[in-house]
Structure 1
């Protein structure tokens, strides 16, 4: 077994993770339901790569994500930090024998479960006593439409829409760092969080629990909300991981929700945001083999949302799109038959974790920044699918042609007409033809394909336009209704996602390099004092500048990178 451990750090990262694990849970449920579409019975994906088998103290078998989630204290909503399976309650401290005074206990009021979580709890209670919850007709049943409206209007925590059971080691709340903390919006605010109060040791020990029980860990996928202080927490954690697990590759997704891009009227605040972006990227990148920036300023108005109706003000909406793309990208290293040339009736082009990373970061230019593109849902394979792929990475050049680019493309659940699914070999032929006809093509492209589409679980938000059909097909005569569709209308969708190593990422890199120099390094820089308050001296700033310069230089070797800090 070649396992993968997942880490989620920060608020938006955990929103993405909640949707991601919901997809996995839905796949597990559909695979065990013989009344469902046969395509889900044998998806060709080994769930053991991401999941672990266990047993409670009562002898109940468990199957939980191999996950470490890190977030604010109080960020779990109504869920216990011990998860929902083991029902552990924190022990109260024993009274001190020498204390003769009165004793008082302070407890924060627990939050009530929302309608979705209540329905899950009732279903599990009925199953535990041998009743068929799907056909239960008790008067206290909660309707699916009512649940969806509740989630659309009342989702506050990432746990509000999570349908997954977690291991007690998975959910780590940073002690003393509360969810309503102010000023945790920059790299400096989180600079000492990891090292203080044994937090780093606790996080490392929880990760070690998952890694050491693996037969042969193939890599760590990490999703980080890098818009503020959590990027600093993640950088310290990743450095620790790099020291302890030297030969384990790390694939890092740095995620942003649209709210983090909001421009401020305060010049000082905008400078702080620009410096945070530069410092965060420069500090995180050395500790991973491949880094993928994810998150558009206006996802709802982007080309990536052509068939979607995304509300940018709702992390519940935006995170669902990014999670769908991350699910697709995770399929190659989870396919049953590993090997780039291995095929089966349901999968093609499997790759292990290290091969994906090396393919995109190990080329002669040693570029380790990848661009994420997707189309959701994917059009039929005969409709120029490649041209429909749109970026989810910000600050990318749309018109930059790169003859040395490298791509890995994942397509699953593809349709060839209406509701008729394409085989993996038909997908392969269609993509080969598309590259042959393209005016420009990458230096190298690897295709992974699977017949199993992306299932849409009940708590998925209502973000599909009327053009999307029940199986994700694009309707030629959609309803004129302006209402969005959700999981009650769309059962599954075909997906396509691509990672590419390309010079199109240059604007992203140069913007961070220029901002670091302009506001932090050059003589009299307006952000100099701010960076000093974050704990950075001149030498460390110049080292960060050199890190960014090297990244730019690998893609544009003749760029003018002369520093004007003197």
Structure 2
């Protein structure tokens, strides 16, 4: 096997991960004559429920604040355990239990529990990330941090030092890696790496930085990819924007020295393609856009190897992108492609994307090695996509300004969903040959 274990740190990352797990659940096939191209053992673990039935649950550890889990329970329908706290207590006196009013389940979750077709979700119906979650989690995966409360106005969890101090106090008391992560690692036969989803513009950035230090102490050579999620900052007061920028800067600086690859994710401030409808005030919508790119960019890490499909892993892709060994921050882009020819539409995502079609601006994105690549913002030969999730506005990278700084692409991985033609063109073969002979210094493009 080549297992990947996921860490989810904070509310923003849990929205993103919920979309990710729902997508993985959609790949399951139940017919005898059907076989999914996805190897489910990469992200899911077998187990035994409380009634002796077999279970199949995500290999993930989920951290969130008090109130952040919504209606999600630590003990679910597959692990119903009658635990009488009074009977197992060493206290001989009378106990008084006080409970907060439970959060009411959403109509979507009620329909899933009843085995009925769920209603269509809306931005108003999604209050928590658990409102649209479709998978069961193992009780060990749920870790609530009760020291802070979600959306608290008294002590908001938004400053870097809060995350650092919270991790230090919890790790000193429990040893978080031994308690939470190690059981999943020991279950893996041949772990290919860890993927960490975390907020980087709030206190979770400090929490993630200290967590990464511990990970590197324990798993020094294991590939670790970090997806750093950021909330839209447009319309926020100046003080809040400054706090977020400081948190992001510190997170990128510290994670850069610890992670194998860091991929920041931010909603572009520039207009999105007209074919895309998105509510920037909805975490459910914004995280869905991030998840579409992340799912496509990492799909090769969980594919079954066949005569038509090549499955890679996190370590190989890190080597392809980190050309000089110290370039650990990567950029993620995507396009929703409309076919130039009258064929069924397909979605193209992540880390780059390529097809002989049109992107959301009506530009041709085909020909990874040809002269059709736009020079606005990158070099020739690089596929240009129309949704940049790296927040280039922070670096003032404006491709439309004559004197604006232009980024330099060292290496690009293109993930094209739906295209069956994987043979390189004659022009691509010629460029590869010239590059191998040192006749042309072009960026490396991997398809």
The answer to whether the 8 Å contact 1:403/1:441 transfers is no
Equivalent residue of 1:324, what SS? helix
Distance 1:281 1:403, change over 3 A: closer
Compute the TM-score of the two structures, normalised by the length of structure 2: 0.79
Residue of structure 1 in register with 2:143 after alignment:
172
CA separation of 1:175/1:294 partners in 2, compared to 1, >3 Å: closer, same or farther?
same
**Is 2:296 the partner of 1:328?**
yes
1:52, CA displacement in angstroms? 0.8
Partner of 2:334: 374
Question: Structure 2, unaligned stretches of length 5 or more?
Answer: 341-354, 358-363, 366-382, 400-404, 433-439
Point out the structure with the larger helix share: 1
Does the 8 A contact of 1:307 with 1:377 survive in 2?
A: no
SS at match of 2:120: helix
**Contact 1:255–1:295 (8 Å) recurs in 2:** yes
CA distance in 2, matches of 1:155, 1:93: 36
Tell whether the 8 Å contact from 2:148 to 2:157 is kept in structure 1 after alignment.
Answer: no
The equivalent position to 1:352 in structure 2, one of 303, 313, 332, is 313
SS at match of 2:226: strand
Distance 1:17 1:113 in 2: 20
Partners in 1 of 2:180 and 2:140 — Cα distance?
6
Greater relative contact order, per chain length (Cα 8 Å cut-off, separation 6+): 1
Q: Once the 2 structures are TM-superposed, how far is the Cα of residue 296 of structure 1 from its aligned partner? A: 2.1
The separation in 1 between residues aligned to 2:262 and 2:21, in whole angstroms, is 21
Kindly report which structure 2 residues correspond to 1:159-308, keeping only aligned pairs within 5 A, or say none.
159-181=130-152, 182-198=155-171, 201-202=175-176, 204-258=178-232, 260=233, 262-266=235-239, 269-296=240-267, 298=269, 302-303=271-272, 305-308=273-276
Q: CA RMSD of the aligned region, Å?
A: 2.9
Aligned residue pair count: 391
- Structure 1 or 2, whichever has the larger Rg, is 1
Alignment partner, residue 478 of structure 1? none
Query: In 1, Cα distance between the equivalents of 2:91 and 2:264?
Result: 55
- Partner Cα separation in structure 1 for residue 300 and residue 279 of structure 2: 31
Q: 1:412 aligns with which of 417, 422, 426?
A: 417
Looking at structure 2, the residues matched to 405 and 283 of structure 1 have their Cα atoms a distance apart, in angstroms, of 22
Q: Counterparts of 1:52 and 1:72 in 2: how far apart (Å)?
A: 25
Q: CA deviation at 1:375?
A: 1.1
Structure 1 pair 164/377, CA: closer, same or farther in 2 (3 Å)?
A: farther
What is the Cα deviation at residue 212 of structure 1?
1.0
> Contact 1:403–1:442 at 8 Å: present in 2 too?
no
Superposition pairs of residues 419-434 of structure 1, within 5 angstroms: 423-425=420-422, 429=425, 432=428
Cα shift at 1:382: 2.6
Give the direction of change, closer, same or farther, for the CA distance of 1:403–1:157 in structure 2 (3 Å limit): closer
Residue in structure 2 matching 1:67, options 49, 60, 66:
60
> Where does the alignment leave 5 or more consecutive residues of structure 1 unmatched?
124-140, 338-342, 415-422, 448-566
The question of whether the paired residues in 2 share the 8 Å contact of 1:83 and 1:165 is answered with yes
Structure 1 residues 178 and 227 mapped into 2: Cα distance closer, same or farther (>3 Å)?
same
TM-score computed with the length of structure 1 as normaliser: 0.64
